[in-house]
Structure 1
Amino acid sequence: MQPRTLDVQPVVDAWLAAYDTADTDVAHLLCDRHDADAVAFTFVEPDLTSRDVTYGELADRSRRLATVLAGRGVERGDRVPVLMGKRPELVTTLLAIWRLGAVHVPLFTAFATGAIQMRVEASRARLVVTEPSQRAKLDPIEGIEVLETGDAFDRLIDEAEPLASSVAIGGRGTMLQLFTSGTTGKPKGVPVPARALASFHCYLHYGLDVGEDDVFWNAADPGWAYGLYYGILAPLVAGRRNLLLNAGFTPESTVAVIEKFGVTNFTGAPTMYRALSKSGLVRNLRLRRASSAGEPLTPEVVDWAREALGAEVRDHYGQTELGMVINNHWHADVALPVKPGSMGQPMPGYTAGIVDGQIAIDTENSPLLWFTGYHEAPDKTAERFTPGNRWYLTADSGRLDDDGYFFFTARDDDVILAAGYRIGPFDVESVLITHPAVADVAVVGRPDPEGIRGEVVEAFVVLDAGTEAHDDLARELQQLVRDKYSKHAYPRTVHFVDTLPKTPSGKVQRYLLRKR
Structure 2
Amino acid sequence: MAVVRAVASGSCLFRLLVERPVGDSAFVLVSPDLTAYSLTCGELRVDAERFSVFLRERGVGPGQAVAVLLDHSRELLALMLGIWHRGAVAVPLFTELGPEAVAHRLGRSGAELVFTSVEQSSKAAGVPGVEVVVVDGDGAMGADVFAARGDVGEPASYAPDAAIACLFTSGTTGVPKGVPVTMAMTDVFRAGLSCCADARPNDLLWVQSPPAWGYFVFFGLLAALLEGVPSLVLCGAAPSPALVRDVLHAHPVTNFASVPTMYRALRDEAPPDPMRHMVRRCLSSGEPLPEPVREWCEEVLGPVSDALGQTETGGWFLANADSSALVAAGQTQRPQPRSAMAVLPGFDVRVLELETADPAPAGVAGRIALRVPTSPLMAFPGYLDDPEQTAVRYPHGPEWYVTGDAGVLGDGGLITPLGRADDLIISRGFNVAPAEMEAVLLRHPAVAEAAAVGVPDDRHGQALVLQAVPAAGVGGEVEGLSAELKAFVEADYGDPVPIREVRIVAELPRTVTGKIRRMLLEP
Task: Give 1:434-445 correspondences, 5 Å limit.
Answer: none
Structure 2 counterpart of 1:60, which letter? V
What are the superposed Cα offsets for residues 234-256 of structure 1, whole Å, 9 maximum, x if unpaired?
Answer: 10111111000022222211121
- Counterpart of 2:280 in structure 1 is 288
Match of 1:239 in 2: 228
d(CA) in 2 for partners of 1:248, 1:414: 31
Contact 1:41 1:243 in 2 (8 A): yes
Preserved contact between residue 206 and residue 329 of structure 1 (Cα < 8 Å): yes
Residue 30 of structure 2 is aligned to residue 44 of structure 1: yes
1:117 to 103, 107, 110: 103
Structure 1: give runs of 5+ residues left out of the alignment. Answer: 1-7, 418-444, 453-481, 494-509
Whether 2:292 is the aligned partner of 1:300: answer: yes
Pairing partner for 1:449 from 453, 469, 494: 469
Say yes or no: does 1:339 pair with 2:336: yes
Percentage of pairs with the same residue:
33
Among candidates 266, 270, 273, match of residue 276 of structure 1: 266
Q: How many Å separate the matches in 1 of 2:75 and 2:204?
A: 22
Distance verdict in 2 for CA 1:156–1:191, change over 3 Å: closer
Name the CA shift for 1:448/1:273 in 2 (closer, same or farther; >3 Å): farther
In the TM superposition, 1:81-230 aligns within 5 A as: 81-150=67-136, 155-182=144-171, 185-230=174-219
Deviation (angstroms), 1:88: 0.7
CA distance in 1, matches of 2:378, 2:245: 36
**Corresponding residue number in structure 2 for 1:351:** 348
Which residue of the partner structure matches residue 319 of structure 1? 310
Contact 2:321 2:334 in 1 (8 A): no
1:38–1:55 Cα contact (<8 Å) kept: yes
The C-alpha deviation readout for 1:148-177, integer Å capped at 9, x for no partner, is 122667744223124210111221111011
Contact 1:316 1:343 in 2 (8 A): no
Residue number in structure 2 paired with 1:56: 42
| Match for residue 414 of structure 2 among 389, 393, 405 | 405
> For residues 352 and 72 of structure 1, do their structure 2 counterparts lie closer, same or farther at Cα, with a shift above 3 Å needed?
same
Inter-partner Cα distance in structure 1 for 2:420 and 2:233: 30
- Give deviations 1:334-380, integer Å, cap 9, x for gaps: 25224345251111111100122210111111111111311222222
SS at match of 1:205: helix
Tell me: CA distance 1:333–1:122, structure 2 relative to 1, closer, same or farther (3 Å).
Answer: closer
Question: Residues 216 and 242 of structure 1 are in contact (CA less than 8 Å); yes or no, is this contact kept in structure 2?
Answer: yes
Task: Give the equivalent residue in structure 2 for 1:506.
Answer: none
Counterparts of 1:235 and 1:319, CA distance in 2:
18
Structure 1 residue 361 corresponds to structure 2 residue 361 = no
Q: Which amino acid aligns with 2:133?
A: L
Match for 2:252 among 258, 262, 287?
262
* Alpha-carbon distance in structure 1 between the residues aligned to 2:513 and 2:82: 32
Contact 1:342/1:405 (8 A) holds in 2: no
> Higher relative contact order by CA 8 Å / sep ≥ 6: 1 or 2?
1
Aligned partner of 1:328 in structure 2 is 320
Q: Distance in 1 between matches of 2:166 and 2:294?
A: 34
Aligned to 1:382: 391
Residue type at the aligned position of 1:411:
R
Quick one: distance in 2 between partners of 1:344 and 1:126?
42
**Per-residue deviation, 1:450:** 4.7
1:171 aligned partner, one-letter code: P
Q: Which string of whole-angstrom CA distances, capped at 9 and with x for unpartnered residues, describes residues 243-280 of structure 1?
A: 00022222211121111111121110111111111135
Q: Paired residue for 1:24, among 11, 28, 36?
A: 11
In structure 2, do the counterparts of structure 1 residues 446 and 235 end up closer, same or farther at CA, with 3 Å as the change threshold? farther
Deviation at 1:396, TM superposition (A): 1.0
My pick for the range that moved more, 65-74 or 246-255, is: 246-255
Letter in 2 for 1:353: R
Q: Secondary structure at the match of 1:334?
A: helix
Contact 2:205 2:232 survives alignment (8 Å): yes
- TM-score norm. by structure 1 comes to 0.77
Q: Give the superposed CA RMSD.
A: 2.9
Q: Secondary structure at the match of 2:413?
A: coil
Which range moves more in the overlay, 87-96 or 299-308? Answer: 299-308
